[in-house]
Amino acid sequence: MAYVNALTALADPTRRAVFERLRRGPASVGEVAAGLPVSRPAVSQHLKALKLAGLVDGRPDGARRVYYIDPNGLGELRRWLDQFWENALEAFKNEVEKPKTVKRRKNP
């Protein structure tokens, strides 16, 4: 069920920007906030949501706190998506292969 959190977390543009910033390596809250047009508390709240979704994790570094990407949440999301993917491909094939076979109402 955690893929739901990951999905909703990554839906927000700012939160996605935070996540993509961390993709270039670990960073502190202030460092992340410095590259974004929002305040530092906003970033802190976003990181909390991302952590809850298993998308990031953080370790203390003195008074600072360094965050980095956690593959767990990403993995769950990937599995959910893959499971969907196979199903969708097969269903789509059935759809495009017989577009004329759909039930007609009159003049059969």
Residues at the contact surface with DNA, assessed by CB under 7 A? 8, 11-15, 28-31, 37-42, 44-49, 58, 60, 62-65, 105-106
Considering the complex, what minimum distance in angstroms separates the CB of residue 43 from its own copies? Answer: 19
Binding to its own copies by residue 79, rule CB under 8 A?
no
Tokens 């980095």 sit on residue: 68
Of 36 and 66, CB closest to its own copies: 66
Considering the complex, what minimum distance in angstroms separates the CB of residue 15 from DNA? Answer: 7
**Helices then strands (H, E): number in the chain?**
5, 3
CA dihedral 50, 52, 58, 59 (to 10 degrees): 170
Residues in the chain: 108
Question: Which range, of 27-35, 40-48, 95-103, touches its own copies by CB under 8 A?
Answer: 95-103
Considering the complex, what minimum distance in angstroms separates the CB of residue 16 from DNA? Answer: 10
What is the CB-side half-sphere exposure of residue 92 using CA atoms within 13 A? 6
Q: How far apart are CA 51 and CA 105, in angstroms?
A: 53
Of 61 and 90, CB closest to DNA: 61
Binding to its own copies by residue 30, rule CB under 8 A?
no
